Structure 1
Amino acid sequence: MAPSMIFMIVFDALILLGAVILFLRPSFTLKLLTWILRHTLVRLRVEGLENIPDSGPVLIVSNHVSLIDMLLIQSVSRRPVRFMVHQEVLEFVPTRFIFWYLGVIRVPSIRRPKAMQRFFRRVRGELRKGEVLCLFPEGGISGNGGLMRFRSGVAPLLPAGVDVSVIPIRIGMLWGRLFSVHDGKLKYRAPRSLPLNFSLRIGAPASTGLSAFQLRQLISELGAEAEAAPQPGELPLHVAFAKRAKRHPFAVTYLDADGTKLTNFEMLVRAALLSRRVRALGTESRYIGVLLPNCTSMAAAMFGVLFAGRTPAVINFSAGAEVALEAASRAGIGKILTSRKFLHKLGWEEKPGMVILEDEAKKITKSEKRAMIRLVLLLPFRMLMRRLAPESAFNAGREAVLLFSSGSTGRPKAVQLTHRNINCDLWAFWRMILWSRRDRIVGNLPLFHAYGFTVEFAFPALSGTPVVYLPNPLDAAGVVKAIDEYDITLLTATPTFLQGYMRKAKPEQLKSLRLVITGAEKLRPELAAKFRDMTGLEIIEGYGCTELSPIVTINLCNSIYLLGRHAHHPGSIGIPLPGIHVRVVDPESGVELGPDEPGLMQVRGGIVMKGYLNDPEQTARVIQNGYYNTGDIARIDRDGYVYITGRASRFSKIGGEMVPHELVEQAIANLRGSEEREVAVAGRGDPKRGERLVVFYTPDDFDPAAVVEELRKEKLPNLWIPKTEDFVKLDRLPLLGSGKLDLAKLKKLAEEQASA
C-alpha cells in the first residue's frame, strides 16, 4: 500500500476518532470551545475559583446573561457540569440541538406538577451520585442585562441527608453582548471592542435555606464586589478621550447649541495647551475650581485640569456667590478658572484667585500652538500621555472630580469621585441603554450636577457620543430647539425641567428622542401620562446621588429592546445597574429585610465615592462595610425593582408614627390632577404630638378646606391629613439649581410658621 494511502487512512481515522470523542464527551467539547473563545474573542477574569470543591455534590447557582454562560462556567470547573435549563429556553429553535447534545436537564413548567416532581427526583439522584449541577434561577437569559426575578430557592432540589455545596456565581459582562434573545429571535449586538471582557465571581458556599430573593441578593452583592476593583484596560476619563481623539481626530464630540464645535483633535490640543497654563499657576492645592456654564470651553477646561495632574472642582454657581465661594474656600481651592463674561452675566465680582481664561488664552503664543499641534499629531498615544499627564495617565484610582452635593438638607459637602467610580457607573449605563453610534445627548444639566458631569461630559469622553451644550438648563425653548436641530436621541432631566420643555415643544420637535430619563425628584404620574400622549415614549425614572457617581438604578423594562417605549413597573426607580448592589435594612438593627419590606436603602459597588473632602467623620457615618447609606426609605419587590417610599429626613414623627411627606404630597397631587408640582410638605415642632405637617402651595385656586375634606374621603390615616390652618400660600416653591426641592429652606419656612 502506498505511503500516501496509509497517511490518508490514518488521517481519516483520527478525524473520525475526534468526532466520536466530541460527540460522546460534551464536557470536553465545552472546554475545547471555551479554550478557542478565550484565545480569540473573549477575555475572562475569574475570582474565587478555590470555592468550587474538587469532590462531592455541588449545586452551582448563577445569573444568566448570554448564550455562552454554560461555556464560561464549564471552563472554570475541573469537573463536568450538568446544566438545568427551563422548558421555554429549550424550545428556542436555534439552540435546541446544542442543549440536547450537552445533555442538559429540562426544567418543566410549574404548571405541570407531575413533571416537576420527576425533575426534583432526577436532580436529587444526580446530587446523591456526587455530580456537579448548575441552575439558572432566572429561568432564562436576562432581557436587559440586569438580574431578573429568581423563581425559587434551592432547598427543593437538595436530597435529604446529603451535604451539598451550594456555590453562587455571578457572571459579569463589562462590554455588552454579542447575541441575545428577544421575542423568540436571535439579536446580534456588534461589540464595541475585542476581546469581549467577561468576569466570573465565585462566592463561598451559601446556606441551603436561602429563599429565592435572598439568593438573588447574594449574587447581586457578588457583582458589586467583582466590579469594585479596577478592570482590565481601564483608563482615566481624560486619557480615554485622548485615545479616542487620536483614533478619530476629525470626529466632533463636544459642541455648543449656537453652532460652535471642536473636532476631537482641536479639543485635545486646546486642553493640552491649557494644562500648561494650569501647571504654571503654581498652586499647592490638588484642586482647581472651574466656574463656567455648559459649553465646549468648559469641557476643554475640565480636560486641561486633568492633564495637568490636578482635579477639577466644579463650582455650583446656582447656589449664589456667597455659598459657592464659601464651599470652595472650605475645600482649600485657591485658584478658580472662569470667564469675565460669565462673571458679568452672573453679577459676581472678580475675586482674588480667579483665573480669567480670556486673559490666559492671550498668553499662549503661536509657536506654543504649533509645537503642541506637532506633539499631538506625531507622538504615539502612550508616549503622548506620559508627556502630557505623567502623574495620572494610567491611574484610574485618582480623583476625577470634586463635586458639591446639592445641599438640599443643609450645607453642601465636597464629594470626591475617582475615575474608577465614574467608569464603573458609565460602563454599566453604556450597555444598559442599547447605545448606538447614532445617539446624541443634549447637555442641558449643568456640569456641577453629578448627572450632568457623568452623562453629559464623562460619557461622551468614553463613548464618543456627541453632546450639544446649552448654558442654561432653564432655557426650555433653547433645549427644544437643540433637540430638533441636532436630532438628539438621549435626554436627561429632572421632572421640573422636563415639564418646562414640554410647554415649549411641539410633538414633532421631539420625534428624534428614543430615551428620556428623569431623576432627582419624584416623577408624577400625570406628567408621565402627558409625555406619553405627546411623544409615544415612556419617561424612564432613575435614581442616584452625587456620592454614588451618581446613577444607581434605571427603571428598565424586561427587555432592553423595548427601552423608552414600555415600562413594566410604573412608580419604581428600577433595578440596580450591573455591578451595583442595593439592599434595604432595618433602620434600628441594620438587619437586611425581605421583599416589599420598607427600610433604609444602602448601596454597594465601585460607584461609592472615595469620601467627603476633609470630613472623615461624616464619611465614616455614611459608608460602613463598603455600603453607602442613602438616607432614603425604600422597598425592593420580588422582581428586584426598587420603590422609594420617602427620604428619611422627609418624615415627621407624629404621635409616635412616621408620616412620609412625599406620600402626602402625592395624595394631594392626585386630587388636583395636575402634572405640575404645586405643593410641598414639611414638618415643624408641636408640643402635643411631637410634630405636625405644614403644606406649602402655589395655585390661586387652591382651597385648603376642600383638600382636607377630599383627603378624608380618600380614607388616608388621620395623622397624614394636615390641619386647614397649616396650609401656607407661596408665590413659588423653593428649588435648587438642579430642580430639587430646597429642603433646608422648606424646613426653615415651616419653623417660621411655628413662631408666627
Structure 2
Amino acid sequence: MEETVNKYWPSSLPKSLSYRLGERPLHEYVKENAKKKPEKNAYNFYGRKLSWKEFGLQIDRFVGFLKNRGVQKGDRIGLYLQNCPQYIIAHYAIGRLAAIVVPINPMYKESELEYVLNEAEVKGVIAGQELYERLTNINRPTSTLQFIVTTCYADYLPEHPTLPLPRELIEDKHNFDDTADMKEILDHTAPISESSPIDIWEDIGLMVFTSGTTGRPKAAMLPFVSALFKTAATSEVNQVKEDDRALAVAPLCHIAGMVMGVNLPVYRGCECVLLTRFDTEAAISAIEKYRITTWYSIAPMNAAIINAPEVAQRDLTSLKRNLATSFGIPVTKELARKWSHITDGCLLYEAAYGLSETHTCDTFMPVDHIKYGSCGIPTYETQIKILDPFTSEVLPPDEQGEIVIKNPGVFKGYLNRPEATSETLKDGWVHTGDIGMLDKEGYLFFSGRIKEMIKCSGYSVFPEDVESLLNEHEGVLQSAVIGVPDEVRGESVKAFIVLKPSIAGKVTEQEMIDWAKDKMAAYKYPRCVEFREELPSTSSGKVLRRKLKD
C-alpha cells in the first residue's frame, strides 16, 4: 500500500519525521521550553496562566518531593485526578526520575482501584481530594503503596475565573492526616533540576490499562519513545505550530487526551487552555475569549455546541482545525458542514485510528483529501495490514479483516501477561482485534471489534455499521448495538437508542424497528429497540457495549 498512501500524502508535509529538539524524552522538552521562552504561557486553567518558567519550576519541586519519598527508576506512580495542571506537573516529574506514570480513571470506584493498584504494584498515588475516600475504602489495600498526595483543584484557580466552573472546582479545600498536600509540596520543596538517565527505546514511561472487551484490564507498557514519536507525528501531520493555542477537554487519563493535552503543548511549545471536563458554555467561552486555533474533541461535543442556544451570535472564527473522534456520534460530512458554518470555515475531520497499545494516532486525515467515514491514512513510519482472522493471510483492498499495525510507538507488552502479549504482539506487529479494511486509496475504515461482532443467521454484523445507519434517523441522538441470543438466528441485533429531545415520545420502538427494516439488510436490522435517556460510556465518551450486555 506504500505507493497508494504516498499518493495522498499532503505536499505541505515532509516525507520523513524529525524531532523539534531531537530524540529526547518529552520532560526534557519542558526544560528547554522553560529555558528558551520562560515568560510565554504554557497552560491556562480557567484564567490562571502558568508560564513555561513557572511550569518547569513546579515540576522541579515535585521531582524533589518524589525523590525524597524514595521514588526511583521503574517505580509506578498513579495519577488519580480530573484534568488539572497538577496532573501534568506530576506526569512530567515522574518521568524525570525514570519512574512510570500509571493513569487511573477518576471514574473508578473502590474495586476497580484495588485491582489497578495491586496489578501495577503502585508505590504512590496523586489524587484529587474528592477521590481520596475511595482510596481509603479499598477492601484489600496494596502492599506496595507507600504514600498518597492529595490536591484541591481550586489551588490553581485565579481569584476571578474567566470561564464557568464545574462543581469539583468550587469545593472547599480538605486536609487529611495521612496524605501530603500538593500545594504545600510545590510551595516549600527544594527543586531538583537533574533528570535520571533514560533509554527512551527500552525504558517504560507509561502503563495504560486497556478497557478490554473480556477479562480484567491489562496494563500496556509503553516506552518513553512512544510518547515522543506519536506526539511529534501528530503535531507534524496536523501542522500544529508554536503560535497555536489549543483547547484540551478530553480526559488526560485517556491515551488520546494525553497526546493532545499533556504531550502536544510540551512538544510544540504552544499554549494550552485546559478544562477539567467538557461543558458546552465553558468550551464556547474558551474558544471565544482565548482565540483557540486547534481543538481535539469528541463528536458529541461538536454537536452540543452546534445545537447551543444563540451559538450563531458567538465568535468561534479563531478555530482553524478540529480533530474529532466518532464516539456515540460519527464525524460525518454533514456534521463538518454545520461546524464550518458556525466557525466560519474551521475544518472538522476524524482525528485518527489508534489504541492504547500503540499510543494511538496511527493514522491521520489529509486535510486536502478528507474522506468522511474513514480514519485517514497511516502516519509516519507506520505500516498497516488487514489480515484474514482465520488464515492470517494479507487481504487485498476493500476486504474486511483484522487490523494489524507496526511503528516505533508500539508497546513492549502487557504487565504480567505473557500469553496475552504473545497473542497481541507478534514480530513487532500489534494484532488489534479490530475489524477494518484499507480501500484502494490506502484509507483505513474501522468496522468494530472482532469480539463484539454479531453472528446473525451466519452473517457477520458489526455494531458500528448498524449504529451508523441508525444515526441517520432524524430523531436519533445516539445509539449502541449488541447481539442477543436468538433460538432461530443464533443472535439478533438489539439497539439502545437515545432520542433527540424534540423527538422523544413521538416515535415508538416498533416504528424505529420498521424504519430500520426498510433501511438495512434483513439479517442486520435490529429486532429489538430500547429507548434510554443516556448510554453507559467511558470518561472519553466511548460507549461501553459490554455494560449494555450485562
Which TM-score tier does this pair reach, normalised by the shorter chain? Answer: 0.7 to 0.9
Q: CA RMSD in A?
A: 2.9
* Contact 1:316/1:404 (8 A) holds in 2: no
**Is residue 523 of structure 1 aligned with residue 325 of structure 2?**
no
Of the candidates 236, 243, 246, which is equivalent to residue 431 of structure 1? 236
Q: Hey, what does 2:57 align to over in structure 1? A: 269
1:614: Cα distance to partner?
Answer: 1.7
Q: Secondary structure at the match of 1:484?
A: helix
Of the candidates 18, 23, 32, which is equivalent to residue 243 of structure 1? 32
**Is residue 260 of structure 1 aligned with residue 48 of structure 2?**
yes
* Contact 2:481/2:545 (8 A) holds in 1: no
Give the Cα–Cα distance (whole angstroms) in 1 for the partners of residues 425 and 86 of structure 2: 35
Q: Hey, what does 1:500 align to over in structure 2? A: 304
1:234: Cα distance to partner?
Answer: 0.5
Give the Cα–Cα distance (whole angstroms) in 2 for the partners of residues 137 and 253 of structure 1: 35
Give the Cα–Cα distance (whole angstroms) in 1 for the partners of residues 48 and 531 of structure 2: 44
Q: Secondary structure at the match of 1:658?
A: strand
Gap change, CA 1:734 and 1:266, over 3 Å in 2: same
**Is residue 391 of structure 1 aligned with residue 197 of structure 2?**
yes
**Is residue 537 of structure 1 aligned with residue 346 of structure 2?**
yes
* Contact 1:331/1:614 (8 A) holds in 2: no
1:410: Cα distance to partner?
Answer: 5.3
1:529: Cα distance to partner?
Answer: 3.9
* Contact 2:375/2:444 (8 A) holds in 1: yes
**Is residue 549 of structure 1 aligned with residue 352 of structure 2?**
no
1:719: Cα distance to partner?
Answer: 1.0
Q: What letter corresponds to residue 376 of structure 2 in structure 1? A: G
Higher helix share: 1
Q: Hey, what does 1:478 align to over in structure 2? A: 282
Q: What letter corresponds to residue 271 of structure 1 in structure 2? A: I
Q: How does 1:392-471 map to 2 (within 5 A)?
A: 392=198, 395-407=200-212, 411-471=216-276
- The count of aligned residue pairs is 504
1:621: Cα distance to partner?
Answer: 1.0
Give the Cα–Cα distance (whole angstroms) in 1 for the partners of residues 6 and 498 of structure 2: 48
* Contact 1:408/1:741 (8 A) holds in 2: no
Give the Cα–Cα distance (whole angstroms) in 1 for the partners of residues 441 and 255 of structure 2: 28
1:493: Cα distance to partner?
Answer: 1.5
**Is residue 646 of structure 1 aligned with residue 448 of structure 2?**
yes
C-alpha distance after superposition, 1:21-80 (max 9, x if no partner)? xxxxxxxxxxxxxxxxxxxxxxxxxxxxxxxxxxxxxxxx997xxxxxxxxxxxxxxxxx
Gap change, CA 1:319 and 1:596, over 3 Å in 2: same
Give the Cα–Cα distance (whole angstroms) in 1 for the partners of residues 370 and 276 of structure 2: 35
Q: How does 1:56-135 map to 2 (within 5 A)?
A: none
C-alpha distance after superposition, 1:616-674 (max 9, x if no partner)? 2111111112111122211111211111223223321122211222222222222x225
Gap change, CA 1:365 and 1:638, over 3 Å in 2: closer
**Is residue 737 of structure 1 aligned with residue 539 of structure 2?**
yes
* Contact 1:408/1:736 (8 A) holds in 2: no
C-alpha distance after superposition, 1:548-572 (max 9, x if no partner)? 1111112223x4xxxxxxx542211
Structure 2: unaligned runs, 5 residues or longer: 152-179, 500-504
**Is residue 600 of structure 1 aligned with residue 410 of structure 2?**
no
Q: Secondary structure at the match of 2:530?
A: strand
Give the Cα–Cα distance (whole angstroms) in 2 for the partners of residues 467 and 437 of structure 1: 11
Give the Cα–Cα distance (whole angstroms) in 1 for the partners of residues 240 and 465 of structure 2: 35
1:399: Cα distance to partner?
Answer: 2.1
Of the candidates 653, 656, 660, which is equivalent to residue 462 of structure 2? 660
- Identify which range, 315-324 or 423-432, moves more after superposition: 315-324
Gap change, CA 1:403 and 1:503, over 3 Å in 2: farther
Give the Cα–Cα distance (whole angstroms) in 2 for the partners of residues 524 and 732 of structure 1: 19
1:451: Cα distance to partner?
Answer: 0.8
C-alpha distance after superposition, 1:679-723 (max 9, x if no partner)? 211002223322111122233333232233333433x32111232
C-alpha distance after superposition, 1:415-460 (max 9, x if no partner)? 2222211112122212211222321111201110101111211111
**Is residue 330 of structure 1 aligned with residue 119 of structure 2?**
yes
* Contact 1:287/1:311 (8 A) holds in 2: yes
**Is residue 143 of structure 1 aligned with residue 41 of structure 2?**
no
Q: What letter corresponds to residue 282 of structure 2 in structure 1? A: G
Give the Cα–Cα distance (whole angstroms) in 2 for the partners of residues 140 and 449 of structure 1: 30
Of the candidates 56, 64, 68, which is equivalent to residue 280 of structure 1? 68
Give the Cα–Cα distance (whole angstroms) in 2 for the partners of residues 500 and 318 of structure 1: 22
Give the Cα–Cα distance (whole angstroms) in 2 for the partners of residues 294 and 489 of structure 1: 20
Gap change, CA 1:547 and 1:638, over 3 Å in 2: same
* Contact 2:322/2:349 (8 A) holds in 1: yes
Give the Cα–Cα distance (whole angstroms) in 1 for the partners of residues 377 and 299 of structure 2: 20
Give the Cα–Cα distance (whole angstroms) in 2 for the partners of residues 574 and 669 of structure 1: 21
**Is residue 687 of structure 1 aligned with residue 494 of structure 2?**
no
Structure number with bigger Rg: 1
1:739: Cα distance to partner?
Answer: 0.3
* Contact 1:274/1:301 (8 A) holds in 2: yes
Gap change, CA 1:465 and 1:524, over 3 Å in 2: closer
Give the Cα–Cα distance (whole angstroms) in 1 for the partners of residues 226 and 437 of structure 2: 25
TM-score norm. by structure 1 comes to 0.62
Q: Secondary structure at the match of 1:698?
A: strand
Gap change, CA 1:501 and 1:278, over 3 Å in 2: farther
Q: Secondary structure at the match of 1:582?
A: strand
Q: Secondary structure at the match of 2:102?
A: strand
1:503: Cα distance to partner?
Answer: 3.5
Of the candidates 623, 632, 636, which is equivalent to residue 438 of structure 2? 636
Q: What letter corresponds to residue 265 of structure 1 in structure 2? A: K
Of the candidates 149, 153, 177, which is equivalent to residue 356 of structure 1? 149
C-alpha distance after superposition, 1:389-411 (max 9, x if no partner)? 2333x645322222222456653
Give the Cα–Cα distance (whole angstroms) in 2 for the partners of residues 368 and 737 of structure 1: 33
Q: Hey, what does 2:16 align to over in structure 1? A: 172
Give the Cα–Cα distance (whole angstroms) in 2 for the partners of residues 480 and 410 of structure 1: 40
C-alpha distance after superposition, 1:144-167 (max 9, x if no partner)? 548xxxxxxxxxxxxxxxxxxxxx
Gap change, CA 1:599 and 1:139, over 3 Å in 2: closer
Give the Cα–Cα distance (whole angstroms) in 2 for the partners of residues 172 and 276 of structure 1: 38
TM-score norm. by structure 2 comes to 0.84
Give the Cα–Cα distance (whole angstroms) in 1 for the partners of residues 414 and 385 of structure 2: 22
Q: Hey, what does 2:477 align to over in structure 1? A: 676
* Contact 1:410/1:744 (8 A) holds in 2: no
* Contact 1:456/1:467 (8 A) holds in 2: yes
Gap change, CA 1:424 and 1:138, over 3 Å in 2: closer
Q: Hey, what does 2:85 align to over in structure 1? A: 296
**Is residue 580 of structure 1 aligned with residue 382 of structure 2?**
yes
* Contact 1:440/1:487 (8 A) holds in 2: yes
Give the Cα–Cα distance (whole angstroms) in 1 for the partners of residues 373 and 206 of structure 2: 32
Gap change, CA 1:144 and 1:717, over 3 Å in 2: farther
Gap change, CA 1:578 and 1:655, over 3 Å in 2: same
1:276: Cα distance to partner?
Answer: 1.7
Gap change, CA 1:250 and 1:333, over 3 Å in 2: same
C-alpha distance after superposition, 1:464-512 (max 9, x if no partner)? 0111111123x22212211111111111111123323333472433211
Of the candidates 478, 488, 492, which is equivalent to residue 292 of structure 2? 488
* Contact 2:233/2:379 (8 A) holds in 1: yes
1:741: Cα distance to partner?
Answer: 0.6
Q: Secondary structure at the match of 1:462?
A: helix
